Structure formats: structure tokens, C-alpha cells
Amino acid sequence: MTQAVWLGGFTVAYIIAMTGISWWAGKKFVENEGEFMLGGRQFNSFLSTVGLVSILVSGGWLPAIVLYGYLFGVGGTWFYLSWGLAILVTGLLWAGFWRASGAYTPSEWFEYRYGRVGRLAIALVILLAVLAIIGWQFVGSGAAVAGALGISTNLAILLIGAAVILYVALGGIWAATLTDLVQFSWVLLVNFIAIPAYLIIQYGLPDSATLPDGFYSVPFGAMPVLQFTLPSVFTFILLQLSIANQAPYFTRAASAVSRRTITIAWTCAFIIALLTGIAGSLTGIYARSLVPDLSNPELAFGELLGYLPLPLTALALAGLMAATMSTVDIYLVSGVN
């Protein structure tokens, strides 16, 4: 069977399955606006953790962790770890206040302090950010799926977009959360467990002699630390501000059962970000060992797939679509809110 057949068959079955789960979730859990928007504020630590991490493992960030491992070795872990640190700080310091405020959306929260003018201003900012991020996810995943299926990018974007909009409309945040559970589990098993495991079994650990100096040096690998330090601090601060004002994170905090749930979930999300960062960077190291002279390192993930069995390659590409859908759905829910 060709790669297109593998991926095409999975795509159709996957969309049908996600739509079915969403229809069931809408019928079982959604009876009013509050349950559509915030799940009745009944999400436990496990579901809150899955929802958070699904934002990280997106169609754009999934190939990027391999890219940074290809460039910096173990230092590539920081690409995910910086997100995890921001989540940890946010969860411990102020996400609990979002839940305690009783607000449904960030714009409502701003209205408490700044009145209707503040609500309107932050609503416009959030809407623009949400549209930009959703567009980036659709275009990136659409390009990957189009190449794998041999269809036009516009058609692939339409396919993914229509599927996400349909299943979010059917069940709101409950649909987004339950499908996130399926989608994140898929990506975790395929991209962060099965692929590294296959590479280790097939090729053994990459020989440090075939890699750039310092690739295995903890914690920064081959990353130029002096050039990295100042930008990373600046980026960390900006990421904090970004998370503090992004609707999906507010929605995940506001939908939790309690402030204690938020503390547990956001701490677990930090741990998962670290572990998946390590696994993704290891995959990038294998890519550097197997394809050392790429003129465009951004192709590292795609080039590495050529060294995997065809079924695993198809499942990994399908994981890109799953990762995109699991990120876009919560942005869509929070944007609608």
C-alpha cells in the first residue's frame, strides 16, 4: 500500500471517529451555554492536563522540536521546556485567579477591572491572535497533508478546517477535550514513543563522533549559550505575557473544577513538556546523524520519515493532522466564547 493510501484511509476514518465522539459528547454533556463554553467547570486534573498539553503538541511545533534537536542536540529540548516553564509559573502564580474570578472569558475578566472599554479592547486583541494562530495551524498542517495525499493545499486546509469546525460545533469544549485525549494519545504514542524506540532499535544510539561538538552536552547541547541567554530571557518574559492573555489558557483554567486542579494539571503539563522535549530532540539528533548535510534544516522531520517503515511514516504524518486539530479546537472554542 502506498503512503497516500495509508494516510488517506486513516484521514477519513479519523474524521468520522472524531465527529462521532463530538456528537456523543454534545448529546451527553452539553445542555446549556456554560457547558458548551467551559464544560460546567467540571474538568478534573487529568482532562485539564491533556487539554493543556494538546496546545503544545501542534502541527507547527511537532516538526519544530525535531528541527531544534537537529540544530542543537539535547539543547533542542529547551524549545518545549520554555513552554513548560511558562505554564508552570502561570499555573502556580495566577491561573488560579482566572478560575476564582468566575469569568467565562478573558474579556469578561477585563471588564470587571476596566469596564466595557477594556472588554472591547481585549476582545479585539484576542480575536486577532486567535485567527492568526488558527490560520498558521491550518496552513502548516494543510501543506503536510496535501503533500502526503497528493491533493491541493487549499483542499487539504478545507478538509481539516471543516472537520474541526464540525466537531467543535457539535460539542463545544467537551468535544474539544475528549477528542484532545484521543489526538494527544495518538501523537504521544507514535511521534514521541514509537519513532524514538524504532530508531534506537534499528540504529542504536547516534555516535557522538558523527555529530557536531557538544551535541550531548547537558543542558544546552550545541546551542551557543552566550547568544542564547539574553534572547531566551526576553522570549521567556514575552511568552509569559502571551500565555497570560491568550484565551485558550484562560479557558482551560476557567473550566477546571478548582484552583487545586489547576496547580496539579499545570505542573503535570510542565513535566510532560520536558519529557516530550527530550524525545523530540532525540529524534532530531537521529535526523542529524542520518541526514547530516541538509541545506534546509527545516526539512529534518520530513527527511527522517524516509528512514522509517511506511506504516509508521504514514501514521506520523497523520499525527501532524491530529496535532493540529487538537490545538485548533480549543482556539476555536475560546475564540467563539
Phi-psi region of 172 (alpha: psi -120 to 50; beta: other; left: phi over 0): left
Which residues, 6+ apart, have CB-to-CB distance to 173 below 8 Å? 36, 37, 38, 39, 251, 255, 330, 333
pLDDT tens figures, 173-215: 998 898 889 888 989 999 999 999 999 999 999 988 889 888 9
pLDDT value of residue 231: 64
Strand partners, 293: none
pLDDT value of residue 147: 62
pLDDT tens figures, 260-306: 999 999 999 999 999 999 999 999 999 999 998 888 888 888 888 88
CA distance 202 to 119: 56
Whether 273 and 185 have beta carbons less than 8 Å apart is answered as: no
CA distance 64 to 299: 10
CA distance 156 to 142: 5
pLDDT value of residue 244: 60
On the question of pLDDT at 1 being above 60, the answer is no
With cell 496547580, the residue in question is 263
Percent of the chain with pLDDT over 90: 27
Whether 305 and 317 have beta carbons less than 8 Å apart is answered as: yes
Mean pLDDT, rounded, for 129-150: 71
CA distance 305 to 206: 17
Q: Which domains does the chain show, CATH number per domain?
A: 3-25+34-336 (1.20.1730.10)
CA distance 215 to 324: 30
